Structures are given as structure tokens and as C-alpha cells.
Amino acid sequence: MRPFFRIAVDASADFLSLFSLMNMDKANQSSYLLVLTDAAAFTPEEITFENLPKCRIHFAVVVDDQFVCDDQIARFVAISAKSEGLTNIDDVDDFLNYLPYFKSDFENTDAYCTAIAENICPTVKITLKCGMFSTDIKLLPSEMENEWDNQIEIIGFVKSANLANAPSFDHHFIVRDDKTGDNRTSDENYLLNMLCSALQIEDSVAICRLNAYTYGTICPIRESNSWQLSIQSFPLGLNSLSWIPNFEDLTIKEEHDNASNDSEDLSAAVDCSARLSYSATNIRTCWNDVHGIQSDVQKLVRLLRKMPERTTAFYTELNRVNAYACAIGAEDFLQKLIIIMEKESENYCAVVKKHCSHVCERLR
């Protein structure tokens, strides 16, 4: 955590001399020093900037601008410009860029602090993608080094126990970015809520790609009386975890009875057999082989032929299949399903044709 200094000085010359007493040996151009001041005292003598720390300096005036000293403000502008390597300010725009933040320019203290934080530590715009769904998010605290891609993609899910002791860095909370306006769809609005609830119920974490050589996990964390999503990165590299193979080669592995079966795939347990049985209970949808897809399509066709008596069952199964296809990004499957539905409806009554027309329109 960055240190916070509270210093009382009576003049700007005394203020500058105090820089030499501050331990900022590790300061660099990626560091910030924010100085809260009333800008009311000014000493006209000549001063030097030798003791300025090697970081960017910003000033925040906490009183109304009618109480400040204009000469002191000019000196603060010079200090801020000097900290960023600018010696002379000849342009009006440059002068305005280095003006202190005045509290009187904002409605309240919260807006004042938010504006300062956004200016000094701008929020990185990131899109979270899961299958066919995506939403804009913010990371708290912000990912300052900008080493992650602007799009974070979830590539799969595993049980929490598989990554319980994995080393991790750069922990951040995920919050929805409300600055994108109100033109978002309901899927964009509730993606984070659905993801958080699903991970919590299934006791799982989501593996995500942060950039070409960095991967991480998204997991739910309990905070007070609510749950919140957290993202954390693994060490740099595609083989950063010794018990997991190359991240680019990960595939879902079937759960076999033979526990000694050594495979280069990630042991992401899938609760289904080679062939899905609809007589079993609590079966999760899984298309890790051709049998799962064929069984789901065949059941939809059988229910379609028995309409209108099986209308409710048909739409229940259709919603399940559609939700799973959207979750894994299987857009081509939905297009094939539309073709099958249109072909099947040609041989049946007008009621079936009407339902098929509605289904195909919604799937498109």
C-alpha cells in the first residue's frame, strides 16, 4: 500500500524543502504523488526544484478557489510540469493540463475524489467474453501496467479443488462498467450475476486468457453478505503450473472409472457418460463427443412430432440446448438446428409449422 503523508507547512518554499525528507527512493515516472493543499500561502523568493522526487506530482486544492493565492497556483503548475519533464509552459492548453484539482468545481466530495482517481489512475476498459456472451467490466484496483488484453476470454471451467494451491498474482475485483450507457441487452446486464451464481453453486472456477502468455482464474468471493467475482493471474508462461499441461492444449477430459489413466488433458471432471441417458436425473449437458449432440437433436425431433401434446417439454429441451450452445459459442450448431427444424416441419400439420417458424426466427 502506498504511504500517506500529512504535513503542515506555511509557505511554498518550506513545502519544497520537505521533499528532501520524504523517503521516495523507489519513485519513478509510473508513480504518483498527490498533494492536498489549501494553496493559501506563498513566498516570493526564488526556489529550486532539485529535491523533487522522480515521479509525477499532482495537487488537489481542498478549499474554494476564491481563497487561494494565484501565485501559489502558478507555482504548483510549474512543479507539476517539471515533474513530467516540461521546463517551460508557453501554451495555454499545457497550463490548463497542469492546474490543480479544485474541490469547488465538483458537486460533492465523492465526485471530487472520483475525478481525481480517474485522472491519476484511469480505469482500463475491458470486455469479458464467455461463449457468445460479453459485457464491459472494470477491475478494482485498476490493472495499472496494461499488460492484459482489452478482451478477457473464458476458455473453460474446472472444480475449485484442482487449483486450490495455485500461485496467483494481481488480484482484482470485477465490477460492471456502467459508463457504457443503458443500451445494453439483458444478457450483458446479468452475465456477471449468472457467472457468479453458477461458479458458487458448482464449486468451480473459470479459466480465462489474459493475454497470449498469461492465464488466470475467475472465482466467487464472499464479501459481507454478498458474493463478488475476483480475477487473479497465474505466473507468466503457458506452463506456469507444474500439474497442468500447456494452457493452449487444454481440453475437457471425460471422467473415466480408470483413475490411473494418465492424459495430457486437464482433469476437468464432466458429470456425464459417453452416451447421455435421458432416464437419469440431474444430468448436465455435455457435448464432448458426437453422441451427446445426436441425442439432444433426436429428442427435440421426437418431441416436435408429438406436438401439440408435448409443447411444454419441447420448449424446455429447446431452451436447455440453446443455452448450452450459447455458453460454449456453438453458433454453427444453432444454424444446423434451424435447417433441421425447417426440414422436419414440412411433413407435419400447420400447428407444428407455426411453432417451427417461431423457433427458427428466435434462433436466428
Q: What does the pLDDT read at residue 299?
A: 86
CA-based torsion, 344, 349, 351, 357: positive or negative: positive
Please list the pLDDT of the chain residue by residue as tens digits (364 residues): 344 444 444 445 455 556 655 666 666 666 778 888 777 776 666 666 666 777 788 888 887 777 777 877 787 888 888 777 777 666 666 677 778 888 888 888 888 888 888 777 777 778 999 888 888 888 877 765 657 888 999 988 888 888 877 787 778 888 887 655 555 555 555 788 888 889 988 889 999 999 888 899 999 888 777 788 989 888 888 888 877 778 887 765 544 344 444 444 333 333 333 334 444 334 456 676 677 788 888 888 888 888 878 888 888 888 888 887 877 777 788 888 888 888 887 777 777 888 888 888 888 7
Q: What does the pLDDT read at residue 283?
A: 45
- CATH 2.40.290 matches 126-249: yes
Helices within the chain (DSSP H only)? 12-17, 70-83, 92-97, 109-120, 186-202, 290-305, 311-328, 331-345, 350-363
Q: What does the pLDDT read at residue 21?
A: 54
Sequence-distant (6+) residues with CB within 8 A of 331 are: 132, 325
Backbone angles phi, psi at 276, to 5 degrees: -70, 135
Question: What's the whole-model pTM score?
Answer: 0.50
Between the CA of residue 76 and those of 9, 41, 69, 99, what are the distances in Å?
15, 12, 11, 8
Q: What does the pLDDT read at residue 193?
A: 87
Q: Which three cell numbers stand for residue 91?
A: 501554451
Q: What does the pLDDT read at residue 39?
A: 77
Q: What does the pLDDT read at residue 217?
A: 92
Q: Give the integer Cα–Cα distance in Å for 276 and 290.
A: 11
> What are the residue boundaries of the structural domains of the chain, listed by start?
12-120, 126-249, 290-363
